[in-house]
C-alpha cells in the first residue's frame, strides 16, 4: 500500500505558485503515527529544503497564525519550479487544508494574514521577433 492510499481520506489542499504545484495532506497525529512530522516527496522536509530557515518559516506560517492544540503530520507531493515557488505553494496548500478542517475559526484569521491569496505572477511568454518576453535586438540607425 502506497503512502497516497494510506492518507487519501484525510484533509488535503492544493497550492500553486509560479510553475510549482503542491498537494498537501494533513494527518492528525496520534501515538501510532511515525515520528516524521514534515515529509516532502518521500524525504524529510528539512532535508528537502536544505535546512533553509526562510523556506521552513514560510511553510510553517499558517500553523503559527492559527492557535490550535491539534498537531498535524504534513505529507506533501510537489512538482515543478524551484525551491522558493515550491515553499510558497506548500504554504498555500496548508492554509487551504486548514480551512477545510475548521472554516469558521481558521478562515478569517488566515485571510487577514493574506495566506489564502494565490500569487498569480507567472513568467511572461516570449513574443516573436524579440529575444525574450520584452527584450528586442539593438536598434541600428545605419
The string of pLDDT tens digits covering residues 34-48 is 566 889 999 999 999
The string of pLDDT tens digits covering residues 75-110 is 999 999 999 999 999 999 999 999 998 888 899 999
CATH number of 3-112: 3.30.230.10
**29: nearest Cα among 92, 65, 62, 72:** 72
SS3 39: strand
Contact criterion met (CB below 8 Å) for 25 and 10: yes
Domain boundaries, the chain: 3-112
Task: State the cell numbers at 25.
Answer: 495532506
Amino acid at each position: 500500500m502506497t503512502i497516497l492510499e494510506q492518507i487519501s481520506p484525510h484533509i488535503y489542499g492544493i497550492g500553486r505558485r509560479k510553475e510549482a504545484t503542491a498537494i498537501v495532506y494533513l494527518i492528525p497525529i496520534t501515538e501510532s503515527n511515525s515520528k516524521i512530522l514534515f515529509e516532502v516527496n518521500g524525504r524529510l522536509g528539512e532535508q528537502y529544503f536544505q535546512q533553509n530557515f526562510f523556506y521552513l518559516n514560510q511553510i510553517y506560517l499558517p500553523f503559527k497564525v492559527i492557535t490550535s492544540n491539534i498537531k498535524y503530520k504534513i505529507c506533501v507531493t510537489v512538482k515543478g519550479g524551484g525551491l522558493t515557488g515550491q515553499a510558497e505553494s506548500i504554504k498555500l496548500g496548508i492554509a487551504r487544508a486548514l480551512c477545510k478542517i475548521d472554516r469558521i475559526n481558521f478562515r478569517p484569521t488566515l485571510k487577514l494574514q493574506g495566506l489564502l491569496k494565490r500569487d498569480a505572477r507567472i513568467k511572461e511568454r516570449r513574443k516573436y521577433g524579440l529575444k525574450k518576453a520584452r527584450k528586442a535586438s539593438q536598434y541600428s540607425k545605419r
